[in-house]
Structure formats: structure tokens, C-alpha cells
Amino acid sequence: MRASRYFVPTLREVPAEAELTSHRLLLRAGFIRKESAGVYVYLPLGWRVIRKIEQIVREETDRIGGIELFMPALVPQELLDETGRSGLDILFKLRDRHQRPFTLGFTHEEIITDIVRNFVSSYRQMPLLLYQIQTKFRDEPRPRGGVIRAREFIMYDAYSFDTDHEALERVYQALRRAYFRMFERMGLPTIIVDAEAGAIGGGSNEEYMIVADGGEDKVLQCDSCGYGANAERCELPDPALTPPVVDAIPPMEQVATPNARTVEEVTAFLNTTADRLVKTLLMRVDGAPVAALVRGDRELNPYKLMHALDGESVEMMDAETIEQITKAPVGFAGPVGLPADLPILADHELRGLQDFITGANAEDAHLVHVCWGRDFTEPRWADLRVAQAGDRCARCADGILREVRGIEVGHIFQLGTKYSEAMGAQFTDGEGNLHPIIMGCYGLGVSRCLAAIVEVHHDKDGIRFPISVAPFEVVLILVNSEDEAQRAVAERLYEQFSQAGFEVFYDDRDERSGVKFKDADLIGIPIQVVVGRGVQEGQVEVRLRADKTPEQVPIEEAMARVGELRQSLYHALRPSEG
Ligand code: ATP
Ligand code: MG
């Protein structure tokens, strides 16, 4: 490709909202362009990278027996009605000319299950692994980081169909390994962590994370056994605290706390510390009201509350209901005097805490010297709080959790029968008995990977693409386009490289050499061939974008040398297992 004929709309001024390095670099280097919030154009260079990522995930899925198809982005809403997902606020909704409601696919479990329930009816037709690479639409509340969190984005999604849980486990493990291979081939170092299923639901699931300071996800990792989990999920051990003796604790007492609602306000007013306070959060799990107690300096993990009650959804209670239940304005809820039929769950850390402070269920008032078991019924104990750095590991004896930021690039789920039961996708076994099909689903953010790759591979001058996903493998820089000798050599090399199957980006523009070098470093093509003054001595310069150590190579050996470098760069990215 000749740069003079190509289309690279670079940006000199990157908008201030672009905080992440990858976002800034992709805009500056002309890989993406924003059309509106969370809606992006993949410009030619960006699109080439996307196509390479797609090809890698295709090859690795085909390798384990996956079959590619392509589903519609327009999803009839009635399919989502079957699984109860048509009300999700992330959906883009629209109607056709007959007023028939549609959504733009945010993931495709319903469509694939619809296909399978119509065409798969016997155990003989499974195992089956289908996948697609397609545009997804999600009306994200906070689009961010360019293509990292977009509202229209490209996803790879695979779906497995099996007759039993052992087969699901096998295909899940095959995909788990395939994902590692995909990310290694892209040059993305990932860790895999336990995760929360979110709107997808189902059984156990894991996320692939890139560790990056700019990541939105909080990930906890055990320094001893390697257990890793998204903070949304991370289990904590029961500290098995023994309750202090209640006899010695003064009677409970109501104190006035005018206008003090938050933990900070109450502790300041009562001159105490947040760990003496118990927060009461009124929530709904599957619509039913419940009170959750955590220490004042802790954060409730709503998903843990949901799991403790075997629920499928969790939300905060609305202010009006809170006021009805507590008979007080929001901010003064406490466990004492709540309706007897309201379940109270408490984080198991509170078992060791007596003589604490809580809201009084009365305006501008708190209770001090509160004891569970004495002043209100012993609550149900559960792991309810958000894990944080320094907490003990739930999986091993002496591990301590540390915290890193992560970008989620993939997420794999053992769905089980959630969708097949809701939508009636069944098969008959050898004896003619009917069973729901056992499913898994596997998502990978293709367009998010573009950004993640740049987030991992860059320096102060620009992007440093791994060769497997670089828009081109080699950039050929003609230093002085007016120098006939240089031009002749560059043209000849361009011809030879192209003939030999190298992907070459030939910078033949009439630009100053400084501009060309800067642009080459910014765009990040991994191998640079510089045709400059050395031509007089029959030499060109070959160097890697990554280390920039120049090497003088005789013109006639340039292709062989570049070939070696290319091979070693691919070699370094070959997957290590399976
Ligand atoms: P997140 O927690 O980041 O919102 P999710 O868990 O809702 O993502 P999944 O449904 O698991 O996302 O989607 C599979 C993959 O698609 C994710 O691992 C991620 O790489 C990618 N992805 C999800 N949402 C977006 C988005 N808004 N923009 C770009 N990629 C996304
Ligand atoms: Mg996810």
C-alpha cells in the first residue's frame, strides 16, 4: 500500500475527554473516529487490525470444531420476552412500519436458542458449537475509552449445545484454552478470573482481563494461591468471629443526629469511627424487600446478597418504599424495629461486633449500644461485602488479596439450561426421553481488543503493534522523495516485498523525513525499513519499532533480513499451550 494513495485521517488535537492512552493514540493515528457518544468509525488502519483480530479468533474456534454463522442484528422483541430480558435498560429498541417491536442485538442467546430449538431435536445432533462475529448494540450509561466501552461494538460470540454437563465442561475447557491461544496470538497478556454473570445469567463463568491502570474493573488476586476474581464476585472467608459478651454492654439508646445521614456525617457527629457503625441497606432481590447489614467502612456487594438468597436480580429499594418500611426519611434505616417479616442478612464480619451504632428508623436519630440477638433478632449471616486489597483469600489458608485494575476482554459462561428451559429447546435421548439442551456462551470483545492491544503496547512516540495484529507488517520509508536513487531503490523494494507476500506500507509521500518517521512510530507498524542516504553505499536501514536499534543491511539482503525478523516476531507470539 502506498501512503500517498491511502487514507489515514490523523488528528492533531485530541479531545480532552480522551483520557486513556489507547483512546488518544487511536484517534491521533487515524484508526478510529467518533461519530457520536460510543459510536465509532473504524478507519482503514483500524479496520485492518479488527480484521486480523477476527481472523485469529476464527482460526482458533475452527480449530476446536466451531462453526461460523451470522445472525441478524435486528432481534424480534418477542424472543427477549421469552427469557424476560426485553426490559433491560441497555437495549436499543425500535419498531418496524407495522409497529412490531425489535431490539438491536446486545448479545444473541435468544436468536441462537431459537435456531437450535427449531433444528436440533436429537442427542445425535450434538455436541454443537456455533459462533459469529458481529456488531452488538448496548445503550451503555457511560460510554468510555473510545472503543473500549462503546454503544455499537464488534463482538465474537460462540454458543455450545450439549446433552450433559460433562460435555459442557469439555467444550468450556476447550474454549478456555482457545481463548488463551487467541489472546497470546494477539500479544495480549491476560489473567482469568471468577466473575459475575450479569445480564447473561447461568452458572459458573470466568473473565479474561488485561491488567491495565486505566481498566474499569477491579480485580483481586491472591498472592499465595493465585485465586483471582472480579471484585463484583470475589469471595471472602467467614472470619468466624466469636461474639463479645452482651452482658457488659450498656442498654441501647436513641441519640439525636440532626442532618447526619452518611457514614462520614454520623461518625463525625458522634465522634467515633466507621467500623463502629453498621449500615442498613434496603434492597430488593427478585422484587422482594430485604435488609442487608455491613460495617460502616465496608461496601455491600449486591450480587452476593442476590446469591445468598438464590435470586436472579437485585436492586436498591426506591426511596418511597424505604420510607414506608422504616417510617423515616432515607438515610436513617436500622435493623431495630423493622417489620418482622422483612428478612435481615448481615455480613459475617458483624458476628464479632456488638455495641454498635445504627440508624434508628426515625428522622435525625441513631441508636447506640446496639447488640444483635438482644435488640433485634440474630440476622442471617452471609458473605456480603465487597472484597478489597488486604483481605484474606477465601481459597487458601494464608493468602492476602491484592488489587489491580483490569480491562475485560473476554467472558465465558456455563449457562446450563437457563435459556433452553425458558425457550423450550429440548432434545430426546437414546431412550426417547426429553431434556433441555445444556448450553454455554462465550464472548470476546473484538473492537475492545483493538484498544486493549494499544493500551498494552505503546511508548511515548506511539503504538507498538504486535506483528500478528499490526495493520501492516513492514513500513518502508522513503526518506527523500526527490532523490532519484533513493526513490528507485524504495520502489524496487516495495515491488519485491509485495511480490513476496509481505504486507508493506510504503511511505512514498512528499513529506519531510521527520514527519514520516514520526508517523511511522505513531502508527506502530513493527518492522521499519528506511531507504535514505545509505543507498549510495548500497545499504538500507532495518529496525524494529519496539527497540529502534538500527541495522545497516545491503539492499539485496533487505528482504531476507526482514523475513527473518518477521518470523521471529510471529514466533514470539505463538501460543504456549493446547
Ligand atoms: P462489561 O462488564 O465491560 O460491561 P459485559 O460483562 O457486559 O461487559 P459481556 O456480555 O460479557 O460484557 O460481553 C462479552 C465481551 O464483549 C466482554 O468481555 C467485552 O470484551 C466486550 N464488551 C462488552 N461490552 C462492551 C462495550 N460496551 N463496548 C465494547 N466491548 C464490549
Ligand atoms: Mg462480561
- 517-569 pLDDT, tens digit each: 999 999 999 999 999 999 999 999 999 999 888 999 999 999 999 999 999 99
| Ligand 1 atom closest to residue 149's alpha carbon, by position in its atom list | 28
Query: Given this model, what pLDDT does residue 578 score?
Result: 58
Domain ranges of the chain: 3-189+416-455, 253-382, 465-572
Task: Decide whether any atom of ligand 1 lies within 6 Å of the 218 Cβ.
Answer: no
Averaged pLDDT, 386-400: 94
What does pLDDT average to over the chain? 95
Q: Could you tell me the distance, in angstroms and rounded to a whole number, from the CA of residue 213 to the centre of ligand 2? A: 19
For strands 278-285 and 314-316, give the pairing.
Answer: antiparallel
SS3 43: coil
Instruction: List the one residue out of 574, 572, 561, 573 whose CA is nearest residue 497.
Output: 561
Mutate which of 408, 409, 414, 446 for ligand 1 pocket (most atoms within 8 A of beta carbon): 408
Task: Decide whether any atom of ligand 1 lies within 6 Å of the 409 Cβ.
Answer: yes
Phi, psi dihedral angles at 464 (to 5 degrees)? -130, 80
DSSP bridge pairs for 68: 131
Averaged pLDDT, 299-320: 95
Instruction: List the one residue out of 182, 186, 117 whose CA is nearest residue 466.
Output: 186
What are the pLDDT digits (tens) for 191-206?
Answer: 999 999 877 777 789 9
pLDDT band at 12 (very low <50, low <70, confident <90, very high): confident
CATH of domain 253-382: 3.90.960.10
What are the pLDDT digits (tens) for 415-465?
Answer: 999 999 999 999 999 999 999 999 999 999 999 999 999 999 999 999 999
| Inter-residue long-range contacts of 39-43, CB under 8 Å, 24+ positions, other chains counted | 39/150, 39/151, 39/152, 40/146, 40/147, 40/150, 40/152, 40/447, 42/447, 43/7, 43/8, 43/9
- Residues 383 and 347: beta-carbon distance below 8 Å: yes
Q: Is the pLDDT of residue 244 over 90?
A: no
Q: Which CATH superfamily hosts domain 465-572?
A: Anticodon-binding domain (3.40.50.800)
Query: Given this model, what pLDDT does residue 576 score?
Result: 87
What are the pLDDT digits (tens) for 20-60?
Answer: 999 999 999 999 999 999 999 999 999 999 999 999 999 99
Q: Is the pLDDT of residue 468 over 90?
A: yes
Task: Decide whether any atom of ligand 1 lies within 6 Å of the 410 Cβ.
Answer: yes
H-run or E-run covering 321:
helix 319-326
Task: Decide whether any atom of ligand 1 lies within 6 Å of the 196 Cβ.
Answer: no
Instruction: List the one residue out of 466, 492, 539, 452 whose CA is nearest residue 208.
Output: 452
| Ligand 1 atom closest to residue 216's alpha carbon, by position in its atom list | 3
Task: Decide whether any atom of ligand 1 lies within 6 Å of the 140 Cβ.
Answer: yes
Q: Whose CA is nearest to atom 13 of ligand 1?
A: 443
| Ligand 1 atom closest to residue 195's alpha carbon, by position in its atom list | 6
3-189+416-455 CATH, one of 3.30.930.10, 3.40.50.300, 3.40.50.2300, 3.90.1150.10: 3.30.930.10
DSSP bridge pairs for 93: 103
